[in-house]
Structure 1
Amino acid sequence: MRIQRILATTAALTCLAALSACKGGGQAAPPGEPAPSGSSASSASSGAAGDAATEGPLVRAQQYLREWAGCENLSSKADDPRMPRGDFPKAGQWSVTEIGVCSTTAEKSDIVIAVPKDTKAFQEGYKQYVMDRLKGGDAGYGHESRVLIGKGFVAFPTTATTAMKLVRSDLRVLVCNPGGQVPEGYKREKPLVEGCGLTDFVSAEDGSGSPNFETPQNPSGEEKLGQPKNGSLGLPRAGSIAELRKLVGNSLDCPKNFSTDPEAVAIESIDYQPVIKGNALEWGVTGRALCGQPAGERRAHDLSWLDTVGDMKKLQTKAKAAQQADLKDDGKLKATGSLLLVGENIAVETNSPSSRFGLYQLQFLYLNCMPGFSAPSGYRLEKSQVEGCVLTNYEPDHPLD
């Protein structure tokens, strides 16, 4: 979920602080705000040839950016159509000595690079620019900042998707709008100027930025087919790992391949990763077993984990944090990571959609902490024991038939 706010009327905006692409009506998208689709990255292949420089601060910045989002066809030519055309960044402004631009590959977007001689002077200049925009009536300016501070350079990605990739590095978003908020779970670091902040939270009004996990996602209470007004429609329970193994039956590879040996239970593979990491007791789990083949003629396969749970709230709280950490990179869960399906006092971790289908028939429900998630009528959607998550049998990628 994104942080909601009221932006000033966009029709009044000029092409100040513009990057290469323009919004509808001929207005340019300024650095610090997302560019529209179909930006000028494609122009790189049709006209702007990269400079032949092989060293220097721009090249070093390019090498760094390549590790995280790609940065191809680097150019410092003033006539490169990808160069910014607005108020900033400009050479000679805010101690900036060089300006360059490169293009990503996956997003087909651009990244402008500014090299300031004095990083503090740059941050002071940007802060003053934001203050001037606020005084001019543009109350929302800077909320969706695309000004990313690095070591020796500043990057201006044109899309939130690229910005999210870059903040996985040491680059941080410079936010100088006093109303800018950083949700829990994201970094809050001090810049070189008072009144601003550095963060790895990327805000975007269209929802393409970093997820905001502070907004609870529990059901709103509206009546939906298949949803209880209060409590639960019922969840399975078991008194022991042995009972749980019998309960899941043939939904998992438990009848033939089953172990409670701690060394076997700790096994995971690149294709099968559990939800619970480390000491299971710290997750509120009292007993754990492994179903599947941990080794043999081929590498580990068909792995799933069974859990008896002494503290379900603790398990869901830890699982929520793990899910958020996974989502934070690109807004998606790892395909090889298991989902946590819970009962009253038991849980199952599996990344097999077919196994989960069988478990849903046994009334297990999946702990889903995705921002904005909702389930269609006919699917179960119940409150979890932690804010910001729901229990459901609906998976958008694998709907029940």
Structure 2
Amino acid sequence: MHTRNTTVIASAAVVAALLTLTACGGGENPTVGGIGSGAEAGSGTGTDGGPHEGTLENPTKNGGVNGSAPKDGTAFQKLPKAGTMAAAARFINGYTPCDPVSPKPKNGGPSSGPDTKFGPAFSVTETGYCGRRGITTIVLIKDPKAFQTAFKAETDAKSGGNPNQGIVVGQDFAMGSESSDAMSALLRPQAGLLMLNCHPNFNPPSGFRKEPALVKGCVLTDYYED
């Protein structure tokens, strides 16, 4: 995608990068990911569980990618859940190139972004970078409601902006990319991710999802326009 005004990161420098990346691009439960509680076939929590972590074969002990998503839950509860950066990257790589994932962007990556920067309120615990045609930034989130609250506050603080942009989210991770193709790929029904949109003027065309998010004034949607 082209750099825009929406992103998310834990430290000032890293957050500015994600804000820049996110302005680019869910459906039912993802077809990738474990089923059941995840305790049936897991490998430890918070560690790299091997090459198939976050997949049907190895959903990880804490649920893996969508390992514990209830079939009759809310739109948020049906989103994929990663547990680790490795699982999140492998899940994303199933729909758009994200291999390997690194704690630092290649070639230094974006060094600046919007004037506003996300801080500790976003509850980001880890950041990773991947992608080939453009940097994709992944963040792991400890408290999703705090993350969404802070994202809404950031959106409210801006004037104008594209009402059809947001950040792609799972239950415990989010991603933004310089590639609009990467963003769009993760909003396809097969992936099962949704975009968090907190813009007051967001009004998607009929037929697109507009589900309640965890905070008032934000929605989860499969509609995105660069």
TM band (smaller chain): 0.5 to 0.7
Query: Structure 1 residues 57, 94: closer, same or farther in 2, change over 3 A?
Result: same
Segments of structure 1 that go 5 or more residues without pairing to the other structure are 1-14, 21-28, 36-52, 205-401
The letter for the 2-side match of 1:95 is S
For 1:83 and 1:98, the matched residues in 2 are separated by 17
Q: 1:16 to 1:60 in 2, by over 3 A?
A: closer
Q: 2-side partners of 1:89 and 1:65: how far apart?
A: 23
Tell me the secondary structure at the aligned position of residue 113 of structure 1: strand
Is 1:187–2:209 an aligned residue pair? yes
Question: Counterpart in 2 of 1:98?
Answer: 126
C-alpha contact 2:187 2:222 (8 A) present in aligned 1: yes
> 5 Å matches for 1:2-401?
18-19=16-17, 30-34=20-24, 54-55=48-49, 57-77=84-104, 81-82=108-109, 85-86=112-113, 87-88=116-117, 92-104=120-132, 108-133=133-158, 138-141=159-162, 143-168=163-188, 169-204=191-226
Gaps of 5+ in 2: 1-12, 26-46, 50-82
Cα distance in 1 for partners of 2:21, 2:178 equals 7
Partners of 1:130 and 1:80 in 2: CA distance? 29
Shift of the alpha carbon at 1:189?
A: 1.4
| Alignment CA distance shift 1:127-1:195 (3 Å) | same
CA RMSD of aligned residues (A): 3.1
Q: Relative to structure 1, is the Cα distance of residues 122 and 70 closer, same or farther in structure 2, using a 3 angstrom cutoff?
A: same
> 1:78: how far off?
7.7
Which amino acid counterpart does residue 176 of structure 2 have in structure 1?
A: F
Residue 112 of structure 1 contacts residue 156 of structure 1 at CA under 8 Å; is this kept in 2?
yes
Distance in 2, Cα, partners of 1:191 & 1:71: 26
Structure 2: how far apart are the matches of 1:81 and 1:118?
28
SS state of the match for residue 129, structure 1?
helix
Higher strand fraction (1 or 2): 1
Q: Give the structure with higher Rg (CA).
A: 1
Deviations 1:233-258 (A, max 9, x none): xxxxxxxxxxxxxxxxxxxxxxxxxx
Is the Cα contact below 8 Å between 1:190 and 1:196 reproduced in 2? yes
Identity of aligned residues (%): 26
Measured after TM superposition, the shift of residue 100 of structure 1 is: 1.0
- What TM-score do the two structures reach when normalised by structure 1? 0.35
Which digits, 9 at most, give the CA deviation of each residue in 1:368-388, with x for residues without a partner?
xxxxxxxxxxxxxxxxxxxxx
* Alpha-carbon separation, structure 2, partners of 1:99 and 1:83: 14
In the TM superposition, what whole-angstrom CA distance separates every residue of 1:347-384 from its partner, at most 9, and x where no partner exists? xxxxxxxxxxxxxxxxxxxxxxxxxxxxxxxxxxxxxx
* Alpha-carbon contact 2:128-2:137 (below 8 Å) kept: yes
User: Helix, strand or coil for the counterpart of 1:75?
Assistant: coil
Which residue in the other structure is 2:7 paired with?
none
Native 8 Å contact 1:34 1:160 kept in 2: yes
Relative CO higher for 1 or 2, CA cutoff 8 Å, sep ≥ 6?
2
Cα drift, residue 31 of structure 1: 3.6
